[in-house]
Homo-oligomer: A and B are copies of this chain.
Amino acid sequence: MARTSTPLRPVTILEVAAQANVSKSTVSLVLQGSGLIREETAERVREAARKLGYVYNRRAAELRQKSASNTIGVIINDLMNPFFAEVLVGLERKLVDAGYTMLMAHTNEDLKLQERVLQTMREHHAAGIALCPTLGTPASLTRTVKSWGIPLVVMVRTLGNGSYDYAGSDNAAGVEMATEHLIAAGHKRIGFLGGQSGPVLEQRLQGYRAALTKAGIALDDKLVFAANPTRAGGYETMKALLDLPRPVKAAVCYNDLAAFGALSALGERGLRAGTDFVLMGFDNVLDAAHSNPPLSTVDIRPRELGEQAAAILLARIEDPTQAKRQYLADPRLVLRQSG
């Protein structure tokens, strides 16, 4: 009777060895693709494994080898933001290409949860961790993870001034470009919409201020509205901006998501972005090309950012002693309808 697949008693290399008439060491060598075994024998082993429905037991192998697992932990703080979804896709692609599997966790800006998933990844012997840190993460975290012996790449948000592997974007330069673009179009009163306090907001705000300063425009605090970097945040702050006694006709947003919300608010007031009001986003998520109207924004290629983060992490796993690496996406203005 043919052996049907019974999950009850998984096949081990011992059975494969018996079937192929070799010792289990030989089977092990073949499975690892060692060149030490005669091709004829190797084929017989592979045949036996196939026939018996053998499944490689990673845990046993890793335990014996005392090696890290082939998983990489990825911690994202806000998956609902398409920017992070795009980063994630880029990251994942590179990781599976390199033979890794992704352990994914979503922290939703919850520091306690972040601690927990970090611990879990440690227990899983993750080969590396890509972390987009929750707001409020202590700068010492990079050292902590290092002390665990796990390579780490920090993404998007910086973590203090220490030196660590990092993939992000030049936020200040990007927003400065966007702001300058509006200034060049003749605007003097330019709003800034959205963004939670944190390193990224600081950097982007700095770019905003730099552009104004260079143009000799005084900073007007009443024009900057912090808010959650969400559609809702952009929507509310745009309405607040439009309600200002002295009219404003231009704004740069913390990110595209906020800009989409702002577009919605503009529409609600019967205003059309690009003609009645000029608006700049930041990120250039896929959606920006097909919003209503299409969004002018600062392109930092989210997907490539994820790929670069993966490349840095992979290189670090390869060589733990190499110098720290940084990738800072070079911001590029992409002009569409809105601005």
Residues of A within 8 A of B (CB): 5, 7-8, 55-60, 62-63, 69, 71, 74, 79-80, 82, 85-86, 88-89, 92-93, 96, 101-106, 108, 113, 116-117, 120-125, 147-150, 231-232, 234-235, 260-261, 263-264, 266-268, 286-287, 289-294
Contact = CB atoms under 8 A, between A and B. Distances in A.
Contacts of A80: 82, 85-86, 89, 286
24 contacts: A7-B147, A7-B148, A7-B149, A59-B62, A71-B103, A71-B124, A79-B88, A79-B89, A80-B85, A80-B286, A88-B106, A92-B105, A96-B116, A101-B103, A101-B121, A101-B124, A231-B289, A260-B287, A260-B292, A263-B292, A267-B292, A267-B293, A268-B293, A291-B292
Nearest to A285: B80
Contacts of A96: 105, 113, 116-117
A266 B272 CA distance: 13
A105 B106 CA distance: 14
Contacts of A123: 55-58
A264 B286 contact: no
Nearest to A99: B120
A109 to B, nearest CB: 13
B79 A85 contact: yes
Contacts of A79: 85, 88-89
Contacts of A104: 74, 92, 102-104
A122 B55 contact: yes
A265 B244 CA distance: 31
Contacts of A113: 96
Given A58-B124, A92-B104, 18 more contacts: A7-B147, A55-B123, A57-B63, A63-B63, A79-B88, A80-B85, A80-B86, A80-B89, A89-B108, A96-B113, A96-B116, A96-B117, A101-B105, A102-B103, A102-B105, A260-B292, A263-B292, A264-B293
A245 B116 CA distance: 60
A214 to B, nearest CB: 32
A338 B101 CA distance: 42
